[in-house]
Structure 1
Amino acid sequence: MLSSNKEEECRSMTYRRRNILYLIEKYLEENGFRSIANILQKEAKLLQDYEICDNVDLDSIYLEYLSYYKIKFGKYPQVIKKIKDPVKVTISNISKKTPPPSKKEETPQEPSSPELTDALRIIPVSHEHGDGFVKGAVRFAAIEGTIDRCDLFFLPEWRDIAESIQSTIVKKTFNVGWNDVCGNSKAVKILRESVEIPFKHPDLFTDVLKPWKSLLLHGPPGTGKTLLARITCSESLGHATFFNVSSSMVTSKWRGESEKIIKVLFQMASHYNPSIIFFDEIEGLTSKRDRISDHEASKRFKNEFLQHLDGLEETKGIFVLASTNLPWEIDAAFLRRFERKVLVQLPNVDERVKLFEKFLNDLLVKDKERLHIIAEKCEGFTGDEIRIVCKELGMKKINMVYNSPSKSASISYDDLLNLVETVEPTGGAQIEKFIEWSKKYEK
């Protein structure tokens, strides 16, 4: 009985060593070390009748080990370390002693190869609080050199992902503020509670009372969801790192690549905290998982995304802001993870008057009475549709000046009214569906 157990143990050990050798051989070939791979194949007598399965490689095994160690011990393992005093072994012929080189003859030294750990270094962002929000130049995070306290970026593939995510950090102000919003006071209130107050007065929050960590803006196209994101970015400059993430940035055609990208994104946001991650048109990434047409790779990505939004590891200092025109297409698990869901409404009459005054600028002499009459006829218009009407009126004046330079170009409120009557509003037909949906989730 004992002998059979020993034989089985030896057999399993042999299989394990053989599989490890095959994995090493494939890794060497994929990274360009073909001569070393051929030597290993001959020395280990590896047969060509076997090949590695498509879902197994050394990189994935290494990353799974890092994740397991992090969950179990709360930190990443130290796989290699630099030798402080390396011992150099030289073989010399005692009978034939070569004279030492003269001082004049300097032996050329080969350029030292970079250390394996010289992959990436993340310089933390300086979030210095001033008297108000910074509107000018701000020092942002930069990725360069070697990595600091983040073992996930050790491999070259992680470094490439981090460099691509680096490009999503917004480094400029859009010159807009909370005063530029017409209406939607509820959305503005929640955004300021989530972004402005925690950064300016962190002492108001405790371990029990924490600021909002996620917000979903939904509503018809053109109501100002992206404008609210721009204002949030401008108002948070100097206090937080703003990641503007698109669907194309976090999706890839390669197997397992999308999961790596979303993981690195949240790791970088955690390192640069406080951070804001903005997902525009998020329904493309968070659609329902029970659809028959949904691919296995898409389900794996969504599961990874859910883990980072609200998983075992708590994400501190990260605020997730998202916008969508199709909230009913989002999976229920993602909806649960958004703490607040706010409907971005259509402007009312008074707000439409303010929008006309803003977009018309100096095209017409301001007449609030006439503007109020026109605004009443714009029921169901979105803010963007009002902007387009005013732009069309401005282009009409430009064409008049261009075609008849000698004549004075003049436009009137009647021209504006005629343009308004030619526009078919899109928001009015959709807003009822959004209001009905929001009753289920909004507080």
Structure 2
Amino acid sequence: MVAKAVATACKSTFFNVSASTLMSKWVGDSERLMKHLFGMAAIYSPSIIFIDEIDSMLTARSEGENEAARRVKTEFLIQLDGVGSSSGRVLVMGATNRPFDLDEAALRRMTKRIYIGLPENDARDALIKKQIASVANSLNASDFQTIARKTEGYSSADLAAVSKDAAMQPLREVPPGDILSMDKNSLRPVTKNDFLAALRGMAPSVSQATVQ
């Protein structure tokens, strides 16, 4: 979301990629895809290349590492050096939950690091409202604040999962034989108790030890 916001604010072309889109079982294909990615980014500059879960591609190199993975890392670093020295305006961004697993050579080249913490109370309130906006509900401002307080330590993904589970609570009350024939408008609205029930079965995915 942050990368998309940056691309929109800068009016740049946005390339959203992951390690799986760049890796190939054929020898040499991964390096070729990497070259094409940076080449396209240069053509459509100003542009932003965003690599999600970048640690899956740029883990620290080791003795027993697969040769194909090593070549991909080397090609990425070469292309990254080219971005810095070329006249094209290309910004490379990566996201990871495991920054300490990244290769040192990659960290030296990606000098700007931004820590994005867990959402605070007001942010959780806004995220829950957004997640449940399209679902019929009877929640008021006080209910949203109560849910926000009880979800301290939850990530954005956790809040999305809790909201989806709460939205399913009214459907779970419908007899299985009536689900296919019923009108969706006949479902009762989602309530605060549905969220509390969802929270009882869903703990935060991020521990305090990890955050610290």
Please state which band the TM-score falls in when normalised by the shorter chain: 0.7 to 0.9
**C-alpha displacement of 1:228:** 2.6
The one-letter amino acid of 1:379's match is E
**C-alpha displacement of 1:401:** 5.7
Residues 308-355 of structure 1 show CA distances to partners (whole Å, capped at 9, x for unaligned) of: 212597133101121122221110110111132112211112222222
Q: What is aligned with 2:80?
A: 309
1:284 pairs with 2:56: yes
Q: How does 1:226-375 map to 2 (within 5 A)?
A: 227-233=1-7, 235=8, 239-289=11-61, 291-311=62-82, 314-315=85-86, 316-361=88-133, 363-375=136-148
1:433 pairs with 2:205: no
**C-alpha displacement of 1:399:** 4.2
Mapped contact 2:45–2:89 kept (Cα < 8 A):
yes
Q: What is aligned with 2:169?
A: 396
Change (3 A) 1:366 1:304: same
Counterparts of 2:141 and 2:193, CA distance in 1: 14
Q: Which of the pair has more CA radius of gyration?
A: 1
Change (3 A) 1:296 1:396: closer
**C-alpha displacement of 1:434:** 4.4
Counterparts of 2:188 and 2:37, CA distance in 1: 53
How big is the alpha-carbon RMSD for the aligned residues of Structure 1 and Structure 2?
A: 2.9
Which of 417, 420, 423 is residue 199 of structure 2 equivalent to?
Answer: 420
Calculate the TM-score normalised by the size of structure 1: 0.41
The one-letter amino acid of 1:353's match is D
Counterparts of 1:364 and 1:313, CA distance in 2: 51
**C-alpha displacement of 1:232:** 4.2
Mapped contact 1:277–1:320 kept (Cα < 8 A):
yes
Counterparts of 1:335 and 1:413, CA distance in 2: 44
**C-alpha displacement of 1:357:** 2.2
1:377 pairs with 2:150: yes
Q: What is aligned with 1:93?
A: none
**C-alpha displacement of 1:410:** 5.0
Counterparts of 2:84 and 2:200, CA distance in 1: 55
Q: How does 1:30-429 map to 2 (within 5 A)?
A: 227-233=1-7, 235=8, 239-289=11-61, 291-311=62-82, 314-315=85-86, 316-361=88-133, 363-400=136-173, 403=178, 409=188, 411-427=190-206, 429=207
Counterparts of 1:412 and 1:373, CA distance in 2: 12
Higher relative contact order (CA 8 A, sep 6+): 2
Mapped contact 1:270–1:318 kept (Cα < 8 A):
yes
The one-letter amino acid of 1:260's match is R
Residues 125-158 of structure 1 show CA distances to partners (whole Å, capped at 9, x for unaligned) of: xxxxxxxxxxxxxxxxxxxxxxxxxxxxxxxxxx
Counterparts of 1:363 and 1:342, CA distance in 2: 37
Change (3 A) 1:410 1:262: closer
Mapped contact 1:343–1:434 kept (Cα < 8 A):
no
Mapped contact 1:357–1:366 kept (Cα < 8 A):
no
Q: Please, which runs of 5 or more residues in structure 1 have no aligned partner?
A: 1-226, 436-443
Residues 256-287 of structure 1 show CA distances to partners (whole Å, capped at 9, x for unaligned) of: 33333322322222222112112111112211
Change (3 A) 1:363 1:321: same
